[in-house]
Structure 1
Amino acid sequence: MIIHFTLNGAPQELTVNPGENVQKLLFNMGMHSVRNSDDGFGFAGSDAIIFNGNIVNASLLIAAQLEKADIRTAESLGKWNELSLVQQAMVDVGVVQSGYNDPAAALIITDLLDRIAAPTREEIDDALSGLFSRDAGWQQYYQVIELAVARKNNPQATIDIAPTFRDDLEVIGKHYPKTDAAKMVQAKPCYVEDRVTADACVIKMLRSPHAHALITHLDVSKAEALPGVVHVITHLNCPDIYYTPGGQSAPEPSPLDRRMFGKKMRHVGDRVAAVVAESEEIALEALKLIEVEYEVLKPVMSIDEAMAEDAPVVHDEPVVYVAGAPDTLEDDNSHAAQRGEHMIINFPIGSRPRKNIAASIHGHIGDMDKGFADADVIIERTYNSTQAQQCPTETHICFTRMDGDRLVIHASTQVPWHLRRQVARLVDMKQHKVHVIKERVGGGFGSKQDILLEEVCAWATCVTGRPVLFRYTREEEFIANTSRHVAKVTVKLGAKKDGRLTAVKMDFRANTGPYGNHSLTVPCNGPALSLPLYPCDNVDFQVTTYYSNICPNGAYQGYGAPKGNFAITMALAELAEQLQIDQLEIIERNRVHEGQELKILGAIGEGKAPTSVPSAASCALEEILRQGREMIQWSSPKPQNGDWHIGRGVAIIMQKSGIPDIDQANCMIKLESDGTFIVHSGGADIGTGLDTVVTKLAAEVLHCPPQDVHVISGDTDHALFDKGAYASSGTCFSGNAARLAAENLREKILFHGAQMLGEPVADVQLATPGVVRGKKGEVSFGDIAHKGETGTGFGSLVGTGSYITPDFAFPYGANFAEVAVNTRTGEIRLDKFYALLDCGTPVNPELALGQIYGATLRAIGHSMSEEIIYDAEGHPLTRDLRSYGAPKIGDIPRDFRAVLVPSDDKVGPFGAKSISEIGVNGAAPAIATAIHDACGIWLREWHFTPEKILTALEKI
């Protein structure tokens, strides 16, 4: 069929299949703003276009509908090197984070402002209601529209976007546009899907329909015979190597319990066979031709089921220890299944697979018996949480190709260096033969710390020699991605009558699902990032992680902290009620203070024992709680309005800024011939603005404009090693490596500049904009570089920096919530939510606020609406964004505020601490205690639903 239509003002004539999907058609025409992130359901809005004057989802159209249509995409906004009014406002306000849906947002807002000169909040919410954004938190979009409206009348107009910090610094703490924001909002090629070549093969995966089963028969011959099928990978022809998908430093503190393909299926969605074909359509057809027979086994779905004496064993294969094998190993292996499979454990992590225990650890300080004996009151409560999904807007994706004898991996990953190490081992290549290019990441939130499809894609390229694309559908994100661990946490508190704690005990049990990636470290962070908030002389913790047959779990922002913090905050609030003490008052009496030693952290490690006991070197909780109390009007009356009851709650939170004694980052900075700089950073910017942090740190040290600094990052050929973007390490570790490299280069520039000026080094200094200034005059960086590159010069000037530390930098914060609960219907309305955070010196204030809003809204979603649900046989019933319940713009609190409260930290660069992760840690307990304040009930399992409200009120 030949169709005629207009695309961004240009007439088009195309020969198409009448039923061809318009999103795919437009994307293949180079309209990279028209993306697919929800399997064409039309929920996410990534594929928004203007179709005959109306915003429409392109995935819901077929090619025949384009006949005589007028189509506009985000590519019609602005020019190649010039942003439109709305795009510029988005960059200036700082809403562009991962950026995947931002071209669609720009198009929708432009259309709104073309129709309505000054839209109301309700009109804004309506216009953006069809757009899903997991990272932005939405609040700043109101500022985008305010700024765009103001600039329509006055192009120079400004609004109050974010506060500034540190008057003693030039660029740190000041507004500066995110360095990659412009290209992302314009939909310039920058994601993995934008790099795929026309000759690429496509992988489609046949997945297990059973939660627990053995493959008894597998025949792929008919699939292999289908024209267009290039290769089929199964357990019969994949590498016989065991690994953990978890992207962590080696030796990994997780069981190596995964084979690329196995005989035993451990969850619905587990890998059976991968078809590599010339097209998606052929690959899908080939999947139907694969013959599989299973022996279906009883699934294990919960922690209690996994603990049962007669529980089915999820990992019944023999275990091999690299070091530190337990005395029980021989007996355990004597009962193991003999299928030619095994698992490997690098060092003792308390694993007992025959008991369904993936990992465990115990620790304590003080004397627990004395602590509880000294208490006037003792309470013990158990709290439960459900499984939550990261829902990155860009689904998992990988594109691999050969470059001569080298394997090139274009990846959407948080851990390019760990990815290279893992893949090189699996495909039997030396690491220098594997080149990982981290493209821009359309959302990670921990899920892209794991190696979930890259190794299959790489193996397919290695055995076929062909470029290969492997991309998850949204359904695969729910059944094959790693989600947040289910947890069951019991807290026992002993206290004096005045509420001061004498003993704290936490039993943290986690459900890791079918594989043990992060099975030690995520649950360990439950107590590690909650117990230090309330220092006590007598503390005991037990962590036990169980295998099951739910869909996989792994890293998710917060990394265990939200579960632990919910339990300790709720238990303390329940203690306060028993003692008739105000919740905020009991927090004040027990909370951590600046300079206080955090003794319990001397007993908790992440795969290795801590080398020292850290302290709260910087902590702005006092000011945070003062401001929060005032903002929420903590003590003011809460009038009842019929069935609606008002309540207020609070939770304090903490996080780390990397992992001392384990993490490492490296950086190199080159002075170019014209006095500009190129930074080679190993850090992985996944939308958090890390490249902008590195840019500003280098510019601050080198006294040059930030626009004279260009950052190349996350590329294993063109940067130095960095452990990656997880554990909130970017600013502290990657940032400090950049600072050290800049300082190293600064000394070289000063030395050669002083020589050129004929002055002692002690008499010269760097000055903005990019000069060495002495008593006799000044010389530019460009002149210094030029002299170095002459035939008699000193060579290129390069600075290097490597950062490790034994010291912790803890960000702190508090969440304040005000809810209204309808005691007749159970409805919960979140009226106010304030997130106040201490991240030391905010390097990029507007980006920091965006990180807070996004993380906080994700936490609100986890608390109010999100959950993966299963039937009795282990089939997940939640397989798309619409049914899952992730919040959109209409779900944000009416009064939603983020506040930066600075402190002076000595570990982070220029006093900076992490910001992107801590925001997910506090919403659940803040909301739950507010619900209790409203109607007197304790909800000890989240998320919170009307049914749970009415059940607790004994109305159903």
Structure 2
Amino acid sequence: MKINGQFKDIAVQPYETLLTALRREGYFSVKHGCETGECGACSVIMRMRGGETPAIVNTCVMLAAQAQDAEIITVESLGDRRGLSVIQQCFTENGAIQCGYCTPAQILAAKALLDRNSHPSEAEVRDAIGGVLCRCTGYVKPVQAVLNAAAILRGEARDNLPPPFRRVIAPEGTGIGSPGAFRQDIGDVRWGGEGPSAGGRMTQAQAQTQTQTLTAILAPFMVAPEPQTSVVGKAEKKVDAAKLVQGKPAFVDDAPLPGMLYAAMLTSPHAHARIKHIDTSKAKALPGVHAVLTYKDVPRVVYASGGQSYPNPFPYDQVSLDSKVRHVGDRVAVVAAETPEIAQRALELIEVEYDVLPAVFDPDEAMREGAPVIHDEPDAIGIKDAKRNLVAEIIAEHGNVEQGFAECDFVIEREYRVPQVQQASIEPHICMTWWDEDDRLIIRTSTQVPFHVRRMIAPLIGLPVKKIRVIKPRVGGGFGGKQEMLIEDLCAHLTIATGRPVRFEYTRAQEFTSARSRHPQRMVFKAGFKKDPNGGAPILHALSHYVIGNTGAYGTHGITVQTVSGMRGLSTYRCPNLKFHCHIVYTNIPTPGAFRGYGAPQAEFGLECLMDEAAQLMGVDAIELRRKNWVRVGDPLPLAAALGEAREGFEQVVKTSGLEECFQQAMAAIGWERRSEFAGKDLIVDPQRPSVRRGIGVAACMHGTAIAGLDMGAASVKMN
């Protein structure tokens, strides 16, 4: 085959995909994402023998042998050490790169489009790159990058190109980075201000005299302040943007190790069962298999897998491998072998006899008497009532809610449900482990919480923390799903058992059954309003929020997600009487975990739906109802002290707020004053998708970053 203009002879296995072959040859821009040709991360441009038009091809569903005599283009051919291609430059300059995992495939899709169409419309660009799934950007900036590249390639607007678009020649061995922004040093000098500052022996009068003298002497040399700064308020490229658009190694799987073994995991086909008997002898006897581990082979150490804080919030209800499985996709055994194919074959040879138990999937049913008990193990720690499948109960109240409702002129109560949703990162969970030259265990993993992983894994594998090093390269999408120690312990157990480097990656199916998701919730919101004696919008007087949080088979993140849900669901609006009540319940669904917003989106969805319905029933403008009641600067957040993410919180006060300005701009942008024109009209956007409607609506949301008062970030700045 011909790859990037060079003929290559590649020896492949009959079953080997083109994706596997290309990555083995060092073309790391071609990414693994789905195995089914749906995500597009593995795309290349290919022209088959005898074909005329190159096309985008998904290499994960094409056998390498089928590419015999084909011409293949990967992103590695587009840019070099002398500079980037126009499309690559546009992606860097337009901020079209976030995680960067899908970027090479998007660039190839853009190249294929622009090679055949120099004047594409926005719709044509969206169609061209839409086959490459991107979980980060929302496509706005990639689309703009392609449109800009098309204009440049047509020869338009070249005078307006910023310097980075000009071809850059770099010395051998160097890459293209962000250009420095320099100004005259004296331009940073400023005089005046709030008054002089001097040594202790200088009087105020002396300081003022010297300041006046120096100002007069230096006046001819002073530079007028520039209207803009060199950095603040201006777009900056990602520091590794050039690396990502060229498809250079950046992710976990882009650094294969010599002698590496490949792991595969056997998972439960049952939602609830005990392992009566497991026989691994045939799997161990398979040539190329180096280790097969079950619950009999690893230490039983209980832990919580959520990387949230220290110490980890309860419950501690997991072990690396157990004799009981609690959801479809739960761990049963793990294998390490010379090739992925041998590892998969070994899984098929493991014989397991299950005692299938009754399962429960609805949290209301799980709490009822006689329901199957999901966690009956004696060594679990921190479960409130295992016999009722109750992980925890949270109650927080401010004022007197029941009395508040009795005093209201209008009361509304509604129930809302939020389903289980998967993060669907394009890069699956993947980890590599090996021993270094100092007998430290190295864990190279796609994680959002490397230091939590290091701390949590130590007792599971029997090593001190100082003998473990966790390397977090660039993460190909996480969205909270990688805020977990999910596969690192099994990978480490295999390296300890074999003494060899081990690579462990989830399949796309395992991402849905064995990884994490958003917590499904059933919420009941109740709000009471009093009439404004001055005739304005009604005043919120009482608000309650009841939640049944379904934490699935294990309690990881269950308590902390629900406390955030209560905090965000009851902090957006002023109210003298508040109550949050939550039951966190085990069921036999795959375990939820962290997901963008960490409990807040569920609560805010319910709260804002309630505010809309209340406004409609009371006959008031939805924004005016919110404006009348939203929190203002100086207002306390009454439940903050009670809801501290599985630990005692602290008092919080609103110090800044841009709600009014935000709503003013939003109202103007969406044409809020014209909303009556939509009443009773057909809002179907696309006849082919009648369930998709377009209208005008508003919502106010509050989001917090990290755990207030607990998490912190630090940086050192050295001034020369």
TM-score, scaled to structure 1: 0.65
Aligned to 1:818: none
Aligned to 2:485: 451
Residues 643 and 34 from structure 1, CA distance in 2 versus in 1: closer, same or farther, beyond 3 angstroms? closer
Aligned to 1:388: 421
Aligned to 2:462: 428
Task: For 1:352 and 1:185, locate their aligned partners in 2 and report how far apart those are by CA, in whole Å.
Answer: 52
Aligned to 2:404: 371
Task: For 1:143 and 1:167, locate their aligned partners in 2 and report how far apart those are by CA, in whole Å.
Answer: 28
Residues 475 and 79 from structure 1, CA distance in 2 versus in 1: closer, same or farther, beyond 3 angstroms? same
Q: 3-state DSSP class of the match of 1:14?
A: coil
**Contact residue 122 and residue 147 of structure 2 kept, 8 A:** no
- Residue identity matched to 1:343: A
1:766-818 C-alpha deviation (Å, 9 max, x unpaired): xxxxxxxxxxxxxxx4xxxxxxxxxxxxxxxxxxxxxxxxxxxxxxxxxxxxx
Task: For 1:378 and 1:313, locate their aligned partners in 2 and report how far apart those are by CA, in whole Å.
Answer: 38
Q: Work out which of the residue numbers 309, 334, 342 in structure 2 matches 1:249.
A: 309
After TM superposition, give the deviation of residue 462 of structure 1 in Å: 1.4
After TM superposition, give the deviation of residue 307 of structure 1 in Å: 2.0
Q: How does 1:376-775 map to 2 (within 5 A)?
A: 376-404=409-437, 405-497=439-531, 498-611=537-650, 613-636=651-674, 637-639=676-678, 644=684, 647-664=695-712, 734=713, 737-738=714-715, 741-742=716-717, 745-746=718-719
After TM superposition, give the deviation of residue 622 of structure 1 in Å: 0.3
Task: For 1:379 and 1:663, locate their aligned partners in 2 and report how far apart those are by CA, in whole Å.
Answer: 37
Aligned to 1:42: 37
Point out the structure with max Rg over C-alpha: 2
Q: Work out which of the residue numbers 372, 386, 390 in structure 2 matches 1:357.
A: 390
* Structure 2: gaps spanning 5 or more residues: 48-53, 163-225, 532-536, 685-692
Q: 3-state DSSP class of the match of 1:426?
A: helix
**Contact residue 151 and residue 157 of structure 1 kept, 8 A:** no
1:182-228 C-alpha deviation (Å, 9 max, x unpaired): 11121111111011214110111111000000110111111111111
- Residue identity matched to 2:39: A
What CA RMSD, in Å, does the superposition of the two structures yield over aligned residues?
A: 1.7
- Residue identity matched to 1:661: G
After TM superposition, give the deviation of residue 81 of structure 1 in Å: 5.3
Task: For 2:391 and 2:81, locate their aligned partners in 1 and report how far apart those are by CA, in whole Å.
Answer: 52
Task: For 1:402 and 1:259, locate their aligned partners in 2 and report how far apart those are by CA, in whole Å.
Answer: 23
After TM superposition, give the deviation of residue 486 of structure 1 in Å: 0.6
Residues 535 and 642 from structure 1, CA distance in 2 versus in 1: closer, same or farther, beyond 3 angstroms? closer
Aligned to 1:28: 24
**Contact residue 594 and residue 620 of structure 1 kept, 8 A:** no
Task: For 2:255 and 2:499, locate their aligned partners in 1 and report how far apart those are by CA, in whole Å.
Answer: 18
Q: Verify: 1:157 aligned to 2:157, yes or no.
A: no
After TM superposition, give the deviation of residue 661 of structure 1 in Å: 2.5
Q: Work out which of the residue numbers 334, 344, 368 in structure 1 matches 2:381.
A: 344
After TM superposition, give the deviation of residue 56 of structure 1 in Å: 0.9
Q: 3-state DSSP class of the match of 1:647?
A: coil
- Residue identity matched to 1:406: R
Task: For 2:247 and 2:29, locate their aligned partners in 1 and report how far apart those are by CA, in whole Å.
Answer: 5
Aligned to 1:330: none
Identity %: 41
Residues 17 and 279 from structure 1, CA distance in 2 versus in 1: closer, same or farther, beyond 3 angstroms? closer
**Contact residue 638 and residue 646 of structure 1 kept, 8 A:** no
Q: How does 1:49-88 map to 2 (within 5 A)?
A: 49-52=44-47, 53-80=54-81, 82-88=83-89
- Residue identity matched to 2:490: V
**Contact residue 359 and residue 372 of structure 2 kept, 8 A:** yes
Residues 204 and 314 from structure 1, CA distance in 2 versus in 1: closer, same or farther, beyond 3 angstroms? same
After TM superposition, give the deviation of residue 155 of structure 1 in Å: 4.2
Q: Work out which of the residue numbers 273, 289, 295 in structure 1 matches 2:333.
A: 273
Q: Verify: 1:12 aligned to 2:12, yes or no.
A: no
After TM superposition, give the deviation of residue 366 of structure 1 in Å: 1.0
Residues 137 and 646 from structure 1, CA distance in 2 versus in 1: closer, same or farther, beyond 3 angstroms? closer
**Contact residue 545 and residue 569 of structure 2 kept, 8 A:** no
Aligned to 1:259: 319
Task: For 1:189 and 1:643, locate their aligned partners in 2 and report how far apart those are by CA, in whole Å.
Answer: 46
Aligned to 1:774: none
Task: For 1:642 and 1:16, locate their aligned partners in 2 and report how far apart those are by CA, in whole Å.
Answer: 56
Residues 504 and 46 from structure 1, CA distance in 2 versus in 1: closer, same or farther, beyond 3 angstroms? same
After TM superposition, give the deviation of residue 642 of structure 1 in Å: 5.6
Aligned to 1:209: 269
- Residue identity matched to 1:593: R
After TM superposition, give the deviation of residue 575 of structure 1 in Å: 1.5
After TM superposition, give the deviation of residue 167 of structure 1 in Å: 6.5
Q: 3-state DSSP class of the match of 2:349?
A: coil
Task: For 2:141 and 2:619, locate their aligned partners in 1 and report how far apart those are by CA, in whole Å.
Answer: 40
Task: For 1:171 and 1:642, locate their aligned partners in 2 and report how far apart those are by CA, in whole Å.
Answer: 47
**Contact residue 484 and residue 554 of structure 1 kept, 8 A:** yes
- Residue identity matched to 1:42: G
- Residue identity matched to 2:20: K
- Residue identity matched to 1:43: E
Aligned to 1:864: none
1:507-556 C-alpha deviation (Å, 9 max, x unpaired): 11110000000111001111211211012111010121100000111100
After TM superposition, give the deviation of residue 378 of structure 1 in Å: 1.2
- Residue identity matched to 1:32: F
Task: For 1:48 and 1:506, locate their aligned partners in 2 and report how far apart those are by CA, in whole Å.
Answer: 47
- Residue identity matched to 2:628: R
* Structure 1: gaps spanning 5 or more residues: 160-165, 319-341, 665-733, 747-780, 782-956
- Residue identity matched to 1:46: A
Residues 167 and 491 from structure 1, CA distance in 2 versus in 1: closer, same or farther, beyond 3 angstroms? farther
Q: 3-state DSSP class of the match of 1:545?
A: strand
Q: How does 1:768-917 map to 2 (within 5 A)?
A: 781=720
- Residue identity matched to 1:76: S
Aligned to 1:685: none
Aligned to 1:316: 376
**Which fold has the larger relative contact order, with Cα–Cα distance below 8 Å and residues 6 or more apart in sequence?**
1
1:568-613 C-alpha deviation (Å, 9 max, x unpaired): 11112221122111211111111122332222222211122123x2
Q: 3-state DSSP class of the match of 2:672?
A: coil
After TM superposition, give the deviation of residue 254 of structure 1 in Å: 2.4
Q: 3-state DSSP class of the match of 1:360?
A: strand
Residues 354 and 173 from structure 1, CA distance in 2 versus in 1: closer, same or farther, beyond 3 angstroms? farther
Task: For 2:374 and 2:82, locate their aligned partners in 1 and report how far apart those are by CA, in whole Å.
Answer: 55
Q: 3-state DSSP class of the match of 1:432?
A: helix
**Contact residue 553 and residue 590 of structure 2 kept, 8 A:** yes
Task: For 1:431 and 1:485, locate their aligned partners in 2 and report how far apart those are by CA, in whole Å.
Answer: 31
**Contact residue 203 and residue 468 of structure 1 kept, 8 A:** yes
- Residue identity matched to 1:269: G
**Mean Cα deviation higher: 561-570 or 393-402:** 561-570
**Contact residue 270 and residue 356 of structure 2 kept, 8 A:** yes
**Contact residue 240 and residue 259 of structure 1 kept, 8 A:** yes
After TM superposition, give the deviation of residue 273 of structure 1 in Å: 0.6
1:635-659 C-alpha deviation (Å, 9 max, x unpaired): 2142565685863211111111221
Residues 167 and 271 from structure 1, CA distance in 2 versus in 1: closer, same or farther, beyond 3 angstroms? farther
Q: Verify: 1:192 aligned to 2:256, yes or no.
A: no
- Residue identity matched to 1:11: F
**Contact residue 77 and residue 107 of structure 1 kept, 8 A:** no
Q: 3-state DSSP class of the match of 1:259?
A: coil
- Residue identity matched to 1:48: S
Residues 441 and 231 from structure 1, CA distance in 2 versus in 1: closer, same or farther, beyond 3 angstroms? same
Q: Number of residues paired by the alignment?
A: 633
